Amino acid sequence: MSPADTATTKQADNEVAPRAETEALISGSEAVAHAVRLADVDVITAYPIRPYDTVMQYVSKMIADGDFDCEYIVAESEHSQFEIVKHASAVGARVFCGSSGVGWFYAFEALAVTAGLRLPMVAMVGNRALDDPGAFGVEHNDALAVRDLGWMLAWVSTAQEALDTALIAYRVAEDPRVFLPCAISCDGAFLTHSQSIVKVPSQAMVDSFLPRYSRGDKQLHPDNPITIAPQVNEDWLMEIRRQSDMAARRARDVIIEAYQDFNARFGRGGEPFIERYMMEDAEVAVIGMGTLAMPVKVAVRKMRQHGRKVGFVRVRWFRPFPARELQNALAGVRAVGVIDRDFSFGSTFFSGVLANDLRSALYPLKNRPKILSFIAGLGGREVRTNNVIDVAGKVFDAASGADIDEQNTYWIGVRE
């Protein structure tokens, strides 16, 4: 069964599951806070940096209002913030943490060891441009920096998806087949600070979807005398890395299972890994992550009104990278335009991170589409519908054989 089929095949179960959801006008950050409450997280650590910090404001308000109970610790830096929940996770606590921009980077040592120790922390990254220069707007380079360490990375495009994905993230990360941390990326401002109507599920619905976290005999506890985080050398390390590699591979199936079950119980959730938009008959495709989806979808609809068969594929999970799904979605198109809200200075063709990974994923295809790389929306600059129409226009030109350099990267919306 392909992942695309899951929503429909599970439809029959939907009548059985009790649905009790309330509507709330909340931001992406507040939606994640609700997921944290519903997941009954045990230990949360906070340290302020915009724009992620709004989630901690909402969590602390829930605690103050008596709606939620947990250990809520304000750390003295991001490094301590992530270290505290890392240890809490090792003793069997469900944990939540988060940061933005260079705050996330200040925790980098803790981020590396959390994945290395196979601790299923769930974190929210409110995507923010890296300093310097100091800027608050969205860029994806903060979360992307952990892409090679064993962290699973999801990008969401609406507040509803933020809530749903946070619940899914706990289920996947804490699955004993995986035991890897997961970061959910929410575009700064566009998601963290925008309020929309969100369906907040009942506790019973969430409880039926999300089992309690159990580390089993890997739990640090006086009754279970174990030690973790040993010093090793060349005689041990490679085998340990290979284990993490297998965990990241297994995560794929666990994610697919989680989406199947989520779709059945909640009647939404969509396809795991990617969202396909108007791709059925698309001749060219635009690829992107996060709230970029909004102007792209508007542009796709506008271009289709003029008979231009363009589609959009939104990458929802960047790690594990959905190579198979993207091959499947893009095998039939003639050209692809990747819009990165990030950069990878000095990389292959000076492209963005997503473009580079996508090129690798599509290389084995027999009939590879042409791939053009675009950089746009850095530091939170608006990506307008017209910007996307320009991008798609160039991709159409490449598809029809125009002389467009594929080994170049095009910057959109930058002042010359």
Partner 1 sequence: MSTGSVEVVYRGIFQKTLAKNICRGIVFAARKEGRIGIAFGRYGDSPERNGIPAKQFAVVADTEEELEEYLSRYEPDNNDVTIVTDDTLCKGIESWAWYGLQPINKLLKEGGTLLVTSTRSTESLIGDIHRKEEPYNLATVKSSASFSGLWVYKDDHTDVRLLGALARVAPHIISLDSIVAAINEPKKNAAKEASARKAHDQIASTAIGPDNGNDAVPFKFELPGWKKMEECLVIRGVGARQQVPGWEGGHVPARNPTFKKFTTRTMRPVINFDTCTKCTICWLQCPDTCFDITPDGYYDANMEACCGCGICEAVCPVDKCITMVNEEAFRDHRSQWEMWHKDKQAYAAWLSEKTADQPARSHGFHHPGQYAEEIANEPR
Tokens of 42: 């045990």
Element spanning 125, H or E: strand 122-127
Each residue 235-264 as x (binds partner 1 by CB under 8 A) or -, in order, gives ------------------------------
The set of residues, in sequence order, having a beta carbon less than 8 Å from that of 350 and lying 6+ positions away, is 344, 408, 409
Residue 64 binds partner 1 (CB under 8 A):
no
Q: 74, 91, 197, 238: which one contacts partner 1 (CB under 8 A)?
A: 197
In this complex, which beta carbon is closest to partner 1, that of residue 10 or of residue 297?
297
Q: 60, 80, 196, 327: which one contacts partner 1 (CB under 8 A)?
A: 196
Q: Strands across the sheet with 71-74, in order?
A: 71-74, 43-46, 95-99, 122-127, 182-187, 152-155, 317-319
The set of residues, in sequence order, having a beta carbon less than 8 Å from that of 410 and lying 6+ positions away, is 372, 373, 374, 375, 391, 394
Q: 3, 269, 270, 295: which one contacts partner 1 (CB under 8 A)?
A: 295
Q: Cβ–Cβ contacts within 10 Å for residue 378, how many? A: 23
For partner 1 (CB under 8 A), the number of binding residues is 32
The set of residues, in sequence order, having a beta carbon less than 8 Å from that of 185 and lying 6+ positions away, is 124, 125, 127, 140, 143, 153, 154, 155, 156, 289, 290
The label of the residue with tokens 């997503």 reads 354
In this complex, which beta carbon is closest to partner 1, that of residue 304 or of residue 368?
304
53, amino acid identity:
D
In this complex, which beta carbon is closest to partner 1, that of residue 133 or of residue 230?
133
Each residue 22-61 as x (binds partner 1 by CB under 8 A) or -, in order, gives -x-x-x----------------------xx----------
In this complex, which beta carbon is closest to partner 1, that of residue 17 or of residue 298?
298
Tokens of 378: 């850095």
**Chain residues 323-382 in contact with partner 1, contact rule CB under 8 A:** 380, 382
Q: 4, 149, 220, 294: which one contacts partner 1 (CB under 8 A)?
A: 294
In this complex, which beta carbon is closest to partner 1, that of residue 216 or of residue 346?
346
In this complex, which beta carbon is closest to partner 1, that of residue 60 or of residue 194?
194
Which of 171, 172, 180 is CA-nearest to residue 208? 171
Residue 292 binds partner 1 (CB under 8 A):
yes
The CB-of-96 to partner 1 minimum distance in angstroms stands at 24
Each residue 99-118 as x (binds partner 1 by CB under 8 A) or -, in order, gives --------------------
The phi and psi torsions of 351 (rounded to 5 degrees) equal -85, -175
Residue 65 binds partner 1 (CB under 8 A):
no
In this complex, which beta carbon is closest to partner 1, that of residue 137 or of residue 272?
137
The CB-of-196 to partner 1 minimum distance in angstroms stands at 5
Q: 314, 385, 392, 399: which one contacts partner 1 (CB under 8 A)?
A: 385
Alpha carbons 137 and 11: distance in angstroms, whole number? 40
User: Which range in 244-252, 266-274, 365-373, 408-416 contacts partner 1 by CB under 8 A?
Assistant: 408-416
The set of residues, in sequence order, having a beta carbon less than 8 Å from that of 151 and lying 6+ positions away, is 111, 114, 115, 180, 181, 182, 183, 319
Do residues 226 and 218 lie in contact, with contact meaning Cβ atoms separated by under 8 Å?
yes
Q: Is the dihedral of CA 113, 117, 123, 127 positive or negative?
A: positive
Binding site for partner 1 (CB under 8 A): 23, 25, 27, 50-51, 132-133, 136-137, 158, 188-190, 193-197, 291-292, 294-295, 297-298, 301, 380, 382-383, 385, 414-416
